[in-house]
Structure 1
Amino acid sequence: MRRRGLLAAGLAAPGIAAPGIARAQARAIRVVNAYGAGGTADIVCRLLFGRLAERTGQNFVVENRPGGAGTIAAAAVARAPPDGNTLLYDATAHSVNPALFGPRLPYDTQRDFLPVFLSLVTPNTILGSTLFAPRTVPALIAAAQAAPGTIDAGTTGIGSAQHITLALFNTMAGVRINHVVYRDAPAARNDMVTGRIQLQFSNVPGSVTPFRAGTARVLAHSGQAEVAVLPGVPAIGATLPGFETYEWNGIFLPAGTPEATRRRLNAGLNAAAAEPAVAERLAALGGLLRPNTPEEFAGFLEGQFALHARVVREASIRVD
């Protein structure tokens, strides 16, 4: 990720009431979250909009609409009036779905949404069972090359950020590690910890607890710099130069929303994210977030669309 000209924290959020205006006078803004309650996306979404509500007096109502790899929520927001009263909170699947579903999507991902704010960027990880001998990426590659198709790795879905990371790993390392799909990350982690599968491709927020408890090994992460909450864990790129993937969260408006609304919302979210309590919580999740403009978020997305399209094509990833 290259983000230059970082935006200083701004003023208030979008078409929202100033702090001195009574809450009752402000129209509620609906935040449609493409993911379920309790996950990383839900935690970050509620953290940011909860603080933004406190700063501005505006009422934000988070509506969780999971399913369809984020397409259910995205379709609802794509059809919403572009008046600033409906927002989409989405994540990595947003940049995978065009390659995965193609013309079957009920909207145009790049035409029907305005990027507003990149709210979380965190590396993916390779978790290994303590019963699995390889403890490093070179050792994992050697084991996979010696016995192709005998190592299983769990993720939470076809086309997920972790599946993309596994597929890219297979391609760049020249190995064949099997993809095992689980309904959720805890189920995959349980099978990995007990040795039913050898690996779980996860993310930093999902890796901190097993790392600290010693119930699993974190072989590597998919970022560039050292991850503060996973001290001593190397980057996959140290073994496979150029390897880099992220799980991200971001906020969108329907296309056609006034630009002034997008700018005010971006400024408000930057200000909320910069507050010490919020910044510390995001850092504890392994977030690499910096202040960002809509243009910087859009530039980041362009790179994600290109990377994910290439990985989906080269790995022949398909959904039924």
Structure 2
Amino acid sequence: MIPLSRRRMLAAGTLLLAGGSHLARAETFPSRAITIVMGYPPGGVSDTATRLIAQRLERELGQPLVVENKAGAATALASNHVVQSRADGYTLLMGATTLAINPTLQPDLGPRDPQKELAPIGMGYQSAFVLHVHRDLPVRSVAELIAYAKAHPGRLNFGSSGTGAVNHLALARFGHVAGIGLQHVPYRGGAPALLDLQAGRIQGMFSAVLEALPLVREGASRALGVTSAERAALLPEVPTIGETLPGFEAVYWQALFAPAGTPEPVLRRLEAALQKATDDPALRSRLAEQAVSLQSGDAAFLRGFLARETESWREVIRGANIRVE
């Protein structure tokens, strides 16, 4: 039998060799293609923005970046795939606002605790929603809408792309902060809701900027406010809701994550590359055309941001008793 002291020396040596190999792999990272998984189908703004960021990252990392679409289960299909992937930096997640929403709204979908199961790399981008109403509604500002809703309780029907969607939660947050009751009408996607808004069957909704623009420009709906902290580049004349309700903000965002346990040197390499990509003026300009705003937050910022977003949306979901049937 090998003496205990000898066994400990052998174990320590094995760990040291494993650690050295691990470090060597990190120092040569990346040596092959990297896959970025996202939870939305091809063709939408999220897909377009992710692919543009990936193209810019290729220049920094010197290896191909492949975007893989794994849509389904409120983006949980993509998130769980990455959580269960090898923690070597070659499979990443372009995570979305749903990482902060699902743990409260649909915990059975997983991951139950993204803050522990994923390693933050950095922010990608954010996009605002537009609060717009049917042209016949006699209001021309956020303040007038609030006053009208208080004078006509239960009379205003607002659509969303579905129960628990980010624009539904933005509506719930707005109603709570403004102290008004707006009747929620969920649809199967934003397109049918916009058709009913155009026809006057609902009185308003929160829509992505690009989705709202056609109705606003043709005069079918009236834009009252945007949900970001700053005015939208494509609607510079429309004030932020925060100009009327200080502190109000409700945006859709995406950010880059790796599986928990990814080596720190690999995370730092990815973080540095992402910072350069999101600081690129040319990329910023291209995404602005899609009503998308690049965000340059590093890993530490993203860690705190995800924690704040999770708590903030938890309060909205529980306060409004929102449930997905």
TM-score by length of 1: 0.86
Preserved CA contact (<8 Å) 2:56 2:277: yes
Aligned residue number for residue 54 of structure 2: 49
Matched, 1:69 2:82: no
Identical columns (%): 38
**Distance between the aligned counterparts of 1:188 and 1:214, measured in 2?**
17
Find the aligned partners of 2:52 and 2:303 in 1 and give their Cα distance.
23
Quote the residue 1:236 is aligned against. Answer: 241
> Counterparts of 2:305 and 2:27 in 1: how far apart (Å)?
22
Segments of 5+ residues of structure 2 without an aligned counterpart are: 1-25
Secondary structure at 1:118 match in 2: strand
Tell me what 1:164 maps to: 169
Deviates more, 1:150-159 or 1:86-95: 150-159
Partner of 1:253: 258
The amino acid across from 1:230 in the alignment is: L
What are the Cα deviations for residues 81-136 of structure 1, in whole angstroms up to 9, with x where unaligned? 10111111121111111111236635422110011121112332212222333221
For residues 208 and 147 of structure 1, do their structure 2 counterparts lie closer, same or farther at Cα, with a shift above 3 Å needed? same
For residues 207 and 279 of structure 2, what CA distance do their matches in structure 1 show? Answer: 27
- 1:176 match: 181
* Root mean square deviation of aligned Cα: 2.2
Structure 1 pair 15–139 and aligned structure 2 pair: CA distance change class (3 A): farther
Distance apart, 1:37 and its partner CA: 1.5
Cα shift at 1:180: 1.9
| 1:308 maps to which of 306, 313, 318 | 313
Structure 1, gaps ≥5 residues long: 1-12, 18-25
Q: Are 1:162 and 1:202, in contact at CA under 8 Å, matched by a contact in 2?
A: yes
Name whichever of 290-299 and 125-134 sits farther off: 125-134
- Aligned with residue 120 of structure 1, among 102, 118, 125: 125
Partners in 2 of 1:112 and 1:179 — Cα distance?
33
- TM-score scaled by structure 2? 0.85
1:201 is aligned to 2:206: yes
SS in 2 for 1:232: coil
The equivalent residue for 2:6 is none
Deviations along 1:36-58, one digit per CA (max 9) or x if unpaired, are 21222111101110222245441
Taking the aligned partners of 2:292 and 2:185, their CA distance within structure 1 comes to 26
SS of corresponding position for 1:180? strand
Provide the rounded CA distance (Å) in 1 between the counterparts of 2:27 and 2:187. 38
Deviation at 1:15, TM superposition (A): 6.2
The change in CA–CA distance for 1:163 and 1:14 in structure 2 (over 3 A counts) is farther
- 1:185 is aligned to 2:190: yes
Question: Residues 15, 33 of structure 1: CA spacing in aligned structure 2 closer, same or farther, 3 A cutoff?
Answer: farther
Deviates more, 1:124-133 or 1:32-41: 124-133
By relative contact order (CA 8 Å, sep 6+), the higher-ranking structure is 1
1:129 equivalenced with 2:162 (yes/no): no
Deviation at 1:197, TM superposition (A): 1.5
- For 2:99, the equivalent position in structure 1 comes to 94
Give the number of the structure whose alpha-carbon radius of gyration is greater: 2
2:222, 2:78 → 1: CA distance?
35
Q: Which residue of 2 aligns with 1:6?
A: none
Greater shift, 34-43 or 98-107, is seen at 98-107
- Tell me the SS of whatever aligns to 2:252: strand
Task: Give the distance between the partners of 2:107 and 2:257, measured in 1 at CA.
Answer: 20
SS at 2:106 equivalent:
helix
Q: Number of residue pairs matched?
A: 300
